[in-house]
Amino acid sequence: MTDPELDDRLAELLIAYQLVSPAVLERARAFQTAKGSTLAGALAELHLVAEDTQAHLLEELTGVRAVDPSLMTVYPDFVERMNVLIPPEVIGRLLVFPAQAEINAIHVCMLNPTDGWTGRALESLSGCRIVPFVSHESALLTALEKHYGSFVKEPLRYARDGGRELAEAAYRRLVAEPFDSYLRPAIALINRNRDAIGRDRKALESVIRDPILIRLVQQILSRAVEAGASDLHIEPIGDSLRIRVRIDGALRAQHSLSATATAPIVARLKAMADLPIEPATTPLDARIGYEIVWGRGIDLRFSLVPAVTGEKIVLRVLDRTRERRQLLDLGMDETSHASITVASDLPNGLILVTGPTGSGKSSTLYALLDRLNEEDVCILTAEDPVESRVAGVTQVQCDESSGVSFASALRSFLRQDPDVIMVGEIRDAETADTALKSALTGHLVLSTLHTNDATGAVLRLINMNLEPFMIASALRLVVAQRLIRKLCKECKRPLSPSSDTYRHLMATVAPESAGILRSGTVFEPVGCPACGTTGYRGRTGIYEVLRITEGIEELILSRAAATAIRAVARSEGMRTLRDAGWLKVAKGETSIAEVFEHTIGDDQPLEAAVGTAAHA
């Protein structure tokens, strides 16, 4: 709740508990307005309500433990550490009092822990999880004046604007600093404690508690996310610690640190994920779920694998909050969009989205959910993990270790009267069988499957020992997709049709594809500062949509080969992934090399393949 809402709720409680009369409350409100303070501060200054009584009321209102920071003992070295993690001017403007610290948590006294943004701002600035306490204004001012007054230039007073601009400016200054200004002191700290770190857990814990190392790791993560990374790889490789980021689907080296930094940085990341900092002997999966990057509601999915060179960590960046997106925003062409729209408007059936990991399947499913999410539609999802929250949709987190599998969740959903069901992934025959039966009993089911192309999904279901008649009856549509990089608009340049490069490329593609390419202008990547010299900036999707027509149903019932299904689908108008790529090339969105890298062409001429399919 906002500060005014908290004041109003406090006033209601005061009247309800008969602690003040309406006339006295009116007096306190007038004083609050004149002074520019909180209601609790006005009540304390006028001596109308005892401070311990106020503390109990604030605790009841916020659900957060109430403490009096003016009674706490805080040592100077702790204050110095906090001043490194949270700039003093922010402490003074927000009226927050860091009270104590754990290995990855700072307990902070604040006026309103329910406003949401104060805790998130402090997490982005400090790189640590914030555990809030609630305190009344007079106690906070007393404690801040005693311990932080000499560091704060502005007068300590309550500010209704909350200091948002000041806090964000402080974060931006941190990111703008040269990375070396964080790296050099951190390496010096590690080298000073190198021998102790190897033999003493307490020494390692002391190092990862140090603000210098906390700040280094926080800057590694925040800068990678700000640059658009989808994954971060922290890899010990012999005599160094390599840090790479995946941007637009391509891995790039970000930093290379001394091998001595491996143990502290890995331990710090474990602490951030609430894992033991000791060396792991088995793979670990966890989550870093607090606000590391300003204004970005993200989770970092943590995966650790113990290797012979050390512990490798991969962090997947997941957006907790997201805007509604249309299918066309993902790069889908009009033809594919029309087919998907028709299938998703059906009252029942199974729609599958296929492709390798990182091909954008989840984004497509979420866009479909956004399209279907209406007041009169009941939607349930089973996901592992829940990557984005969708308002109005019931989302269930599946976890095999806790006994909630996709299959069990799906069975439970059928008793919840759903219209639309989304299953994160069909991994086994049990889930596939339940999904098909759900689709046959009046539900629209959306899911993903790991296959290379759309026709491969049909064969995958058959190989799960599912009855072909069930597949043919339930399956409505299969969408195969890939993400390909887009050419940087700042530096891409046309490829001259008279150049040797152009002629060579045209000679490598099928005649019908060459016709598509000649219908537009082919561009090539160059590289500039805007795209990090890669020539590419951003990604877009390419789609292969298999409609289950009567002809395809007959092939499924006869257990026909994937090549036969593919041939008939193409004769009925299906555009392959490579065809979709060529359309993007002709529009100047991507390069020929990018299409070759992410798609596989047909070796067999279309006419011959159709003949084979018809014979089958």
Place of tokens 């759900």: 438
Report how far residue 91's alpha carbon sits from residue 98's, in angstroms, rounded to the nearest whole number: 8
**Measured distance between the N- and C-terminal CA atoms of the chain, rounded to whole angstroms:** 66
Q: Are 40 and 55 in contact (CB under 8 A)?
A: no
Bridge-partner residues for 285, per DSSP?
A: 303
If you write DSSP's letter for every residue of 401-443 in order, what string do you get? GGTB-HHHHHHHHTTS--SEEEES---SHHHHHHHHHHHHTT-
Instruction: Report CA Rg, the chain.
Output: 30
Are 168 and 184 contained in the same domain? no
Give the integer Cα–Cα distance in Å for 315 and 302: 5
The residues near 376 (Cβ < 8 Å, ≥ 6 apart) are none
Domain span holding position 301: 180-319
Is residue 215 within 8 A of residue 127, CB to CB? The reply is: yes
Select from 264, 285, 319 the last residue of a domain: 319
Note whether 187 and 128 are same-domain residues. Answer: no
| 453 and 345 together in one domain | yes
Identify whether residues 186 and 169 lie together within a single domain. Answer: no
CA nearest to 315, candidates 336, 287, 354, 279? 287
Helix (H, G, I), strand (E, B) or coil at 62: helix
Query: Are residue 460 and residue 569 in the same domain, yes or no?
Result: yes
Contact between 425 and 433 (Cβ < 8 Å): no
Last-in-domain residue among 319, 343, 363: 319
Name 246's Cβ contacts closer than 8 Å, sequence gap at least 6.
229, 230, 231, 232, 233, 252
Number of domains in the chain: 4
- Taking the CA atoms of 28, 32, 37 and 39 in sequence, report the sign of the dihedral they define: positive
Nearest Cα residue to 487 out of 369, 377, 593:
593
Q: Which of 110, 136, 159, 157 is nearest to 43 (CA)?
A: 136
The verdict on 467 and 528 lying in the same domain is yes
For residues 51 and 97, state if they share a domain.
no
CB contact at 8 A, 351 and 263? no
373 and 461 inside one domain: yes
The per-residue pLDDT for 320 is: 72
Pair (297, 339) in one structural domain = no
> CA–CA separation, 353 vs 172, rounded Å?
39
What CATH code is carried by the domain that includes residue 454? 3.40.50.300
54 and 117 together in one domain: no
Domain endpoint, select from 269, 299, 319? 319
pLDDT at residue 174, as a whole number: 92
Do 443 and 499 have their domain in common? yes
Q: What is the CATH number of the domain that holds 110?
A: 3.30.300.160
Segments of the chain with pLDDT less than 50? 603-616
In this predicted structure, what is the pLDDT of residue 616?
37
Asked if residue 380 and residue 487 are part of one domain, the reply reads: yes
Among residues 47, 108, 120, 118, the alpha carbon closest in space to that of 72 is found at 108
